[in-house]
Chains A and B, each alone.
Chain A
Amino acid sequence: MSLLREKLENSSDRVFTAEFPSIDGGGMASVARDAARLAPWFDAVNATDNPAAHAHTSNTTTAIAMQMHGLEPIMQIVCRDKNRLAIQSDLMGGALHGIENISLLTGDDVTAGDEPEARRVFDIDSTQAINITRIMMTGKYLSGRKINPAPNFYIGAVENAAAPPFDYRIERALKKHRAGASFLQLQICYHPDRLEAFCKGVAKIAPDLKLIPTVVLLKGSKALGFMNEKVAGIDVPKDTFARVASATDQAKEAYDLTLELAQHALSLPGVRGLHVTDFRHDDSLNNFMNDLGLKPRN
């Protein structure tokens, strides 16, 4: 059983997840370096699938490389680049290598990336992909053809509590849960009130759906402004932006903001941990984890 599943299903411990940096060359040496940096703090780390519609080393091979370096992967599968056949073969490829944690998501549009002229696939959507993964766990492909023995997955998904239509976000999370998702990693959210309404709404109906909100460590208002303008589905309220932009020590203010958001998120019903994205690449990750009361693993 994956560590992530073990912790989420059989304990009340908090879990912490992160994003593995995209691999563009650098070989296994770079994988080893990043794995060593993340391993002390995180239970499982996302092996991304062409994030923000940019081509990188594939999801499956990244997940395998992470595993070779002692890091438990959550293999993401995005619906933008692959049709239903390719998605099922990603899943089988992962299963062949003992990868259990899977996260299925829609994905940014091709126009968000550096090859906007590409064909977008979206043959199936994320909820259908979740359901197909669950079906494969019963020992068959979507076509009905047998898989023997059936693969063993721990299925996750993603939801954005901060994007409209807000009430519908709760219903959609529940729909993904009914389709087979056991945990949800939530998109970055700078509206604590929206996150709170979402978590309460979900926890009331599906208390066993594990919620993992995302927080981001960043250096200051420039990065915050970039996310607000360039990243689909992320809105930074004016006051929040002004608070960081007008601070004499922006790096400190941005850090304090993230810590506050993290503590608030962890206090919400249904929330079982945090997904931490680090855009600072300094020593603040260690401080941040310490400030949340965590000790590094050996």
Chain B
Amino acid sequence: MLKKLLPFVEHAIKKPVWDCRMCGQCVLHSTGMTCPMTCPKTLRNGPCGGVRENGNCEVIPDMQCVWAKAYDRKESLPMPAVWKEHFNELRPPVDMRLQGSSSWINLITKRDQQTPAGWSIQDGAH
């Protein structure tokens, strides 16, 4: 029951504020409270090379680049130091099976931390 209900509740809260796309693996805290899934290229590790001179998106010219916004916010918003440290972490590929599920449940069950068996990160590349 909760599994069915929570995605609705989560979406109702996160959609208006962060334009949440329900990827099920929320990384908002580490991306300056800016959702990387609203990037047309869904980049989770920083901006593409196409950012315009005014900081807007290559694909949607009247939208600020999601990562330009994330970087600004990371610098300016008050948030725990550890969240800022996580900004440059190497975020793993999205698990497409989690699309539409509640990231809150996935956080509690640690399902959102499962990565493919071969995925690893070099020392220092946290």
Interface residues of A (CB under 8 A from B): 79-80, 84, 105-109, 111-112, 120, 122-128, 131, 134-135, 140-145, 158-160, 163-165, 167-168, 171-172, 174-175, 178-180, 187, 232-233, 235
Q: Are A163 and B51 in contact (CB under 8 A)?
A: yes
Residues of B within 8 A of A160 (CB): 49-51
Smallest CB separation, B41 vs chain A (Å): 5
Q: Are A109 and B50 in contact (CB under 8 A)?
A: yes
CB-contact partner of B122 in A112, A123, A134, A158, under 8 A: A134
CB-contact partner of B43 in A112, A122, A187, A232, under 8 A: A122
Residues of B within 8 A of A127 (CB): 45-46, 90
Q: Are B68 and A143 in contact (CB under 8 A)?
A: no
Contacts known (A127-B90, A143-B117, A171-B88); A178 close to B122, Cβ less than 8 A = yes
Report the contact-size class of chain B (Cβ under 8 Å from the partner): 35 or more
Smallest CB separation, A272 vs chain B (Å): 20
Q: A120-B41, A127-B46 are in contact. List 7 more A-B contacts (CB 8 A).
A: A105-B49, A123-B96, A127-B45, A128-B93, A135-B119, A168-B46, A179-B125
Residues of B within 8 A of A134 (CB): 122
Residues of A within 8 A of B125 (CB): 131, 175, 178-179
Interface centre among A105, A122, A179 (most CB of B within 10 A): A122
Chain A residue, CB-CB nearest to B41: A122
Residues of B within 8 A of A167 (CB): 71
Q: Are A175 and B49 in contact (CB under 8 A)?
A: no
Interface centre among A108, A125, A179 (most CB of B within 10 A): A125
Q: Are A125 and B120 in contact (CB under 8 A)?
A: no
CB-contact partner of B47 in A107, A158, A165, under 8 A: A165
Within 8 A of A (CB), among B67-121: 67-68, 71-72, 88, 90-94, 96, 116-121
Count A/B pairs, Cβ under 8 Å: 126
Q: Are B51 and A233 in contact (CB under 8 A)?
A: yes
CB-contact partner of A172 in B40, B47, B91, under 8 A: B47
Q: Are A128 and B118 in contact (CB under 8 A)?
A: no
- Cα distance A175–B53 in the bound complex, in angstroms: 23
* 27 residue pairs A–B, Cβ–Cβ below 8 Å: A79-B41, A105-B49, A106-B49, A122-B41, A124-B93, A125-B46, A128-B91, A128-B92, A131-B90, A135-B119, A142-B118, A159-B49, A163-B50, A163-B52, A163-B53, A164-B53, A164-B65, A165-B51, A165-B67, A167-B71, A171-B88, A172-B47, A175-B45, A175-B46, A175-B125, A179-B121, A233-B58
Smallest CB separation, B58 vs chain A (Å): 4
Residues of B within 8 A of A131 (CB): 90, 119, 121-122, 125
